[in-house]
Structure 1
Amino acid sequence: MYQLSDYRFDLPEELIARHPEKERTDSRLLHLERSTGEYHHRNFADLASLLSEGDLLVVNNTSVIPARLIGHKESGGKVEVLILDYREGMMAKDREGHFSCRCLLKASKRVKPGTPIHFGEGLSAVVESFDKGVYHLRFLSEGDFDAQLEAHGKMPLPPYIKRDADAFDKKTYQTVYAKNRGAVAAPTAGLHFTEAFMSAIRAKGVEIAELTLHVGYGTFEPVRVDDIREHDIHTEWYEVPQETADAINKAKADGRRVIAVGTTSVRTLEFATTEDGTLHPGAGACNIFIYPGYKFKCVDAMVTNFHTPESTLLMLVSAFAGRDTIFNAYEEAVKHRYRFFSYGDAMFIA
């Protein structure tokens, strides 16, 4: 279970969801029982019937920024820019007056330091440095940087979607409870929730708590080592508010379920929980790598999407439910034509 090859599976190309469902809760839901390995085919709206009074649902309230920018050098050559660390850029802006951060660039050839890039009226950047495949850019904006980013940027859809983001993606590739700007990828399990659905489960007696993990592009970074234990996982900024820690610690003390929405919520909760099962409030860099053999300290159940082969996310759900159990469920999902990945269908593992 530690070999990268243990996490390969065949997925027909046509099962990769490239567009969301018309209604968020119209997606399907594979309900997987961890204790028995049994699975049940449901619709996402059925999740309400699977939740009980007293359950505590934990969501990641990060907000995806339109991090992909299409620009041109003064020579006319096209340059595609992906902002990697919005929080870093805003901290630089507070210190120095300019948004400045690490970025990925795609161009016909390597872009030299000192090169200006123009994105349209009111927004440009200068390449400051290049190191190990990552560029550092200093952005120049007329007026508010966020306003210019909203005007010129596109949502950073995952590479497997294989299409350009459109105007609808600015809404559909964002959870309805997003509030803290900083992610360059959506916490996609949360895309299935609507405000009406959340109101309905609250009325049922389900408690909802929020935390933040700014999902980085590293979530798509492939594992390049044969022994997964040697993988150096990406780091993302997180915050667990005091009120969230208090609510979760009380739920655990009461014997109520803590249900994480998405692997990002799982990683944050497990990172911030000590061995005695206490969740501590705080903020900082989260770099926990969860794979089979890990003992969960906080999370009792999770809502998640179907993940890419050989990904750290697939390893995380395999740790939670067991590798064989997950792969049996994935085989069933393929057989029944579930939609996979960010805009795809969901699982409830409990």
Structure 2
Amino acid sequence: MKLSQFGYDLPEDRIAQYPAENRDESKLMVLHKKTGEIEHKMFKDVIDYFNEDDIFVMNDTKVFPARLYGNKEKTGARIEVFLLRELNPETKLWDVLVDPARKIRIGNKLYFGDDESLVAEVIDNTTSRGRTLRFLYDGSYEEFRQALKDLGETPLPKELNREVEPEDEERFQTIFAKKEGAVAAPVAGLHFSKHLLKRLEIKGVKMATVTMHIGLGTFAPVEVEDLSKHKMDSEQAFITEETCAAVNEALDNKRNVCAVGTTTMRTLESAVSSNGRLNTFDEWTNKFIFPPYDFSIANSMITNFHPAKSTLMMQAAAFAGYDLLKKAYDVALKEDYKFSTYGDAMLIID
């Protein structure tokens, strides 16, 4: 397929600036793949589409405060540094994005904090905005990571076009976030409340987790018209034996397996055995899913309404079917659904 097929016009006022007051009370569009039917619900109604021994698979990654602001040596110019990936804990090397990039060259030093207690040196250029930094810090590794947390802020997407507010620290995490390492939340999971999880448990619906530490791969723009030529940046993912056993049991018993979010789906599809079952996983994956694609594990999926020409939208189209997804987005625009990180949700089922 072509990049241009995933374009659409999204008015700015349709990008949700804030989350719903209650996590599970955002809108939910339900897409039925077999019939093409579209239903309009609230997210907490998702429970009505699943039964005992069906299973939800969530991404339990935890967002860290990845956006820092420093000052360039000599000029004092304010530079945004977005932490992407820790390359080496011992030498404190990180892949980052910098803005404005034109001012940052190899050898430059950046100073962070009012007391300039944290210093980083630019040691490599990786992309037009990408740099490798070596942080110069004399304390222990634990103290260094704490310094990053103290100086960093919640990495809200730039498309929200607002300052970070205190509530974002909590609302930009899923309630099941455990393993720190992501620079963005797995947004489909943001809709789940403790109350909804308890209702699902009482109904007998099972839960399992995978981990994908969301990084640049998920959000890097596609810059080629021929999608087969796009290369995803790798992201680290993990699947435990416990999750494999739970998912494979559901598959063996022909129960529904619901992938909560595109990152969960990519993780599952990165670990499929030759007989169509789930394997354990502890690797980096650059799997890029776009139409047409045959999915092996999940037969339902929860996702948000994504930006035009994004890999997230492409993956949703691969699962729903391109024509049905485009129809759904047209309906969402007419029916006042909210888009992006804090926006409304979509359940895609057979």
Same fold at TM > 0.5: yes
2:121 matched residue in structure 1: 126
Q: What residue number does 2:27 align with?
A: 28
Matches within 5 A, 1:215-226: 215-226=214-225
Residue identity opposite 1:132 in structure 2: T
Question: Mapping of 1:321-340 within 5 angstroms?
Answer: 321-340=320-339
Shift of 1:196: 2.0
Deviations for 1:52-79, whole angstroms, at most 9, x for unmatched residues?
1111000000011100001112331111
The aligned amino acid for 2:182 is A
> What runs of 5+ residues in structure 1 fail to find an aligned partner?
none
In the alignment, what sits opposite 2:136?
140
Quote the sequence identity (%): 40
Structure 1 residue 230: Cα displacement? 1.3
5+ residue gaps in structure 2?
Answer: none
* 3-state DSSP of counterpart to 1:84: strand
State the Cα distance separating 1:203 from its structure 2 match.
1.1
Cα distance, 1:108 vs. partner? 7.1
Distance in 1, Cα, partners of 2:297 & 2:13: 36
- C-alpha distance in structure 2 between counterparts of 1:231 and 1:174, whole Å: 29
Which residue matches 1:346? 345
TM-score by length of 1: 0.94
Q: Distance in 1 between matches of 2:213 and 2:19?
A: 22
1:13 matched to 2:12: yes
Aligned pair 1:278/2:274, yes or no? no
Report the RMSD for the aligned CA atoms in angstroms: 1.4
SS in 2 for 1:127: strand
- Residue pairs, 1:43-82, within 5 angstroms: 43-75=42-74, 76-82=76-82
- The answer to whether the Cα contact below 8 Å between 2:122 and 2:132 also exists between their aligned partners in 1 is yes
TM-score scaled to structure 2, two decimals?
Answer: 0.94
Whether the aligned pair in 2 keeps the contact of 1:154 and 1:166 (CA below 8 Å) is no
How many residues align? The count is 342
Residue in structure 1 matched with residue 319 of structure 2 by the alignment: 320
Q: What SS does structure 2 have at the residue aligned with 1:229?
A: helix
Residue of structure 1 aligned with 2:100, choices 81, 98, 107: 107
Shift of 1:294: 0.8
Runs of 4 or more above 3 Å deviation: 140-143
Counterpart secondary structure, 2:323: helix
C-alpha distance after superposition, 1:131-177 (max 9, x if no partner):
33221111234551222122110111122111232322111111111
Kindly provide the amino acid, as one letter, of the partner of residue 104 in structure 1: L
- Structure 1 residues 275 and 321: alpha-carbon distance in aligned structure 2, compared to 1, 3 A threshold: farther
What code does the residue aligned with 1:270 have?
E
Q: Which residue number in structure 2 is paired with residue 234 of structure 1?
A: 233
Instruction: Give matches, 1:174-185, under 5 Å.
Output: 174-185=173-184
